[in-house]
Amino acid sequence: MWTLRGGTAAQKARNVDTLRHSFESLQGRIPGLLQLHIGVDQSRVDYACDVVLVSEFASAEALAAYATHPEHLRVKAELGDMRVARHQVDYEVP
């Protein structure tokens, strides 16, 4: 989950679009990445994050490989310092 930079609603919306496009470009390019979804906050409450990335991997090893995959590193570079805060939860589904 991310809170993104943006002094105006329009700037924040552009950053959300950039983040969404960047992550969606990973689909089909990283072995073991089964699903990837970007959710955009609609509540607008002050404590909510702006976006959430929900991704599913074939295994814990595939998730570990994703962290250093060149395409993932490309997305990290594209997004640069766009985020103000980031929260992460990695969990295994039995």
CATH at 65: 3.30.70.100
Rounded Cα distance between 59 and 88, Å, is 17
Whether residue 92 is contained in a domain is answered as: no
Q: Which pLDDT score, from 0 to 100, does residue 79 have?
A: 95
Q: Which pLDDT score, from 0 to 100, does residue 29 have?
A: 96
Low-confidence ranges of the chain (pLDDT < 50): none
Global confidence as pTM? 0.89
Q: Which pLDDT score, from 0 to 100, does residue 44 have?
A: 87
Residue 76: domain span? 2-84
For residue range 38-58, list pLDDT tens digits in order. 999 999 899 999 999 999 999
Residue partners of 66: CB distance under 8 A and separation at least 6: 30, 32, 33, 55, 57, 72
Whether residue 94 is contained in a domain is answered as: no
Rounded Cα distance between 24 and 22, Å, is 6
